[in-house]
Amino acid sequence: MFDHFTLDEVALDDVRLRVRHGGSGPAVALLHGHPRTHTTWHALAPLLARDFTVVCPDLRGYGGSSKPASDDSHAPYSKRAMAADIVQLMSALGHERFSVVGHDRGAYVALRAALDHPERITKLAFLGVVPIGEAIRRCDARFATEWWHWFFFNQPDVPERVISADPDAWYLRDGLEARMGQENYRDFLAAIRNPATVHAMLEDYRAGLSVDRAHDEESVREGRKVTCPTLVVVASKEGDDAMYPELSTIWPQWADEVRIAYIDTDHHIAEEDPEGLEELLHPFLSV
């Protein structure tokens, strides 16, 4: 897994991030989602590394990265804090300008990086559907039914007790190891079986409904938009785009130059079809 990549732990201002990096060429950061670690990119990263320098960190709180204490505001797990981590990390690795690709929760970090640090981000690939603020603004019975975990995870204490009582029962599904690959699966197991990681991942979600939502609303009020080219990749089998029939009108409000592409997978795009995802990302990142 990750042949010819280097595994490091990089100290930043208030966290240490576990990161793999390799390849050569223009830099691109790949940001994973919940409940994965950076190893979710194990099949995609080597494909991109033929023409790009690829950096795959564990976000703060996830996997092997440090898990700072949180507070009632959940700001230590805001996407703004996570985006600042990524900008610092890329500087530490010698990359002042870079593209960013984010999936699931990592997509929100990628978006916030592009909004907060436009001078640093050259391309944004958002592997998801819509920004957090747009999802919450449109929350209805269907959203609450299909994405109920957002609201369960937002409750104090109870989610930690429920999940960590039997994390395998909560997260594992038949055939998951075969779909993920053995080493990726092992890294995932180590993460979900660590109560500190479970708590941190839940803080990520709690931040989503509070401080992240406020930051999104602030960006809308200020008219701030992503200024770099943006690619939104939607997993067609997941079906979440059906919740947003106005998808093609939402994103131009967030990005000056945006293209929406579809890929025939379910949620974990990079694990299910790394070659197909690389075919979408490579020309976008190369231009």
B/e letters for 246-278, b = 16+ CB within 10 Å, e = fewer, are ebeebbeebbeebebeebebeebbbbbbbebbb
8 Å CB contact between 113 and 100: yes
Please tell me the distance from the alpha carbon of residue 44 to that of residue 77, in angstroms, as a whole number.
Answer: 26
95 is known as an active-site residue: no
* Of 8, 266, 267, 282, catalytic: 267
8 Å CB contact between 110 and 124: yes
116 is known as an active-site residue: no
Main-chain dihedrals φ then ψ at residue 16, nearest 5 degrees: -120, 130
**Mode of pairing for the β-strands spanning 27-31 and 16-23:** unpaired
- CA triple 268-271-274, angle to 5 deg: 115
Four-CA torsion 114, 95, 49, 228, nearest 10 degrees: 30
* Of 32, 38, 85, 104, catalytic: 104
Residues serving a catalytic function are 104, 267
